[in-house]
Structure 1
Amino acid sequence: MTTTQRPMRADARRNYERLLAAAGAAFAEQGTEASLEDVARAAEVGIGTLYRHFPTRRALLEAVLHDGVVTLDVRARELLESDSPEEALLEWMRHLVVHTTAYRGLAATLMSSIRDPGSELYVSCQTMRSSSARLLAAAQRAGAIRHDVTDADLIKLVNAIAWAGEHGDDDAERLLGLMMDGLRVRYERS
């Protein structure tokens, strides 16, 4: 027997949308550890309403990030059609850094969620990891990227760049370039 979820009442849907908007603004201003009480107040609902919709902070963060993760996945699929898998991988990493630096604290939160199937962010993390794996594999098949590099390595390195950006290093492009230099296949001269 399957259970079907009833559609939200109009007032519940409005509360849900107001909570998402308020959380997005609070996370942008204060980081992922923003006060949930402040989020509820900004959405003009009680804290109980917030917790009915989002039982945990990570559930709320997942909902706020959802559309961005879908957009990233679509972009990764488009980049797979590129004539230059190496450039496609670099472009993907740029998008991933921008996504991961959207909110202070997000890089650390994502890294702690990527290996935790119980985390509300796990599915999103796995979507980003899968997208990274496909683009990495294409660049490796093209002979541009070392074969000992894994998708887990890529995610860790991109998150490290995002974390550095959160802590005052605004030179992500240079750091991505250095990272790519380390990932590229090296040919020895004869």
Structure 2
Amino acid sequence: MPDPSGRPIRADARANEDKLLAAAALAFARDGAAATLKQIAKDAGVGIATLYRRFPTREQLVDATYRYETARLSAQASDLLGELPADRALRVWMSQVLDYLATKHGMADTLKALLQNDERLSSQTREQLTGAIEGFRLAGITQGVIREDVPSTDILMSLAGVTLVAGAVHQRAQAERLLDLLMDGVTRPDGWRGTTERSTP
């Protein structure tokens, strides 16, 4: 996020901003609307004046946290693909989406207003997440573990459906099962074996 003045952000200021946004994401996921700016600053290890200097309003902090978490989630795709086969990497990433949504739900009221006032923010989010899924899809096709006939947009919409019906914290186990069902539809019959190995009939 650029400095409002347009000037480059110093390295120490950037580090403080990253700490604040990471702390804010955890606080919103944990405490929801009850998360306080004072506690976020404390969790980040900075003074409240530092928080207000960078984010003068709660709305600006929510906006920056949402952008930060979306970018972080999207960037995780390449890291996971460097560590795991594409189908396993996609499944792990889907679980991370559930964590991402916990943060999003925690700032829902403020975020809803922001999205209504900035249509580009919503479209940018879709583009970033679809791009991440496309990376998994193309790698999986090359590896022979993901179907070629399932578009990234369909995977994203199906994932959104899972989070819509089972996105609450107490529904996490059910959401994970639904993600396994989604993976069954995305992967080749001889590829995906779920989060645990299934016995061969």
TM bin, normalised by shorter chain, reads: 0.5 to 0.7
2:187 maps to a residue whose letter is: R
Look up the match of 1:74: 75
Distance 1:84 1:29 in 2: 32
- 3-state SS of 2:129 partner: helix
1:136 maps to a residue whose letter is: R
Contact kept? 1:105, 1:166, Cα under 8 Å = no
Q: How does 1:144-183 map to 2 (within 5 A)?
A: 144-163=145-164, 164-166=166-168, 168-171=170-173, 172-183=175-186
- 3-state SS of 1:148 partner: coil
What is the alpha-carbon root mean square deviation over aligned residues?
Answer: 4.5
Q: How does 1:126-145 map to 2 (within 5 A)?
A: 126-145=127-146
Contact kept? 1:20, 1:64, Cα under 8 Å = yes
Q: Which structure shows the higher helix fraction? A: 2
Is 1:186 aligned to residue 189 of structure 2?
Answer: yes
Contact kept? 1:26, 1:39, Cα under 8 Å = no
- 3-state SS of 2:189 partner: coil
Distance 2:142 2:177 in 1: 25
Q: Assess, with a 3 A threshold, how the Cα gap between structure 1 residues 30 and 143 changes in structure 2: closer, same or farther.
A: same
- 3-state SS of 2:103 partner: coil
Q: How does 1:13-28 map to 2 (within 5 A)?
A: 27-28=28-29
- 3-state SS of 2:93 partner: helix
Percent sequence identity is 27
Count residues with an aligned counterpart.
170
TM-score computed with the length of structure 2 as normaliser: 0.58
Distance 2:145 2:178 in 1: 18
Q: Assess, with a 3 A threshold, how the Cα gap between structure 1 residues 94 and 143 changes in structure 2: closer, same or farther.
A: same
Is 1:64 aligned to residue 65 of structure 2?
Answer: yes
TM-fit CA distance, 1:173: 1.9
Distance 1:92 1:22 in 2: 21
TM-score computed with the length of structure 1 as normaliser: 0.61
- 3-state SS of 1:152 partner: helix
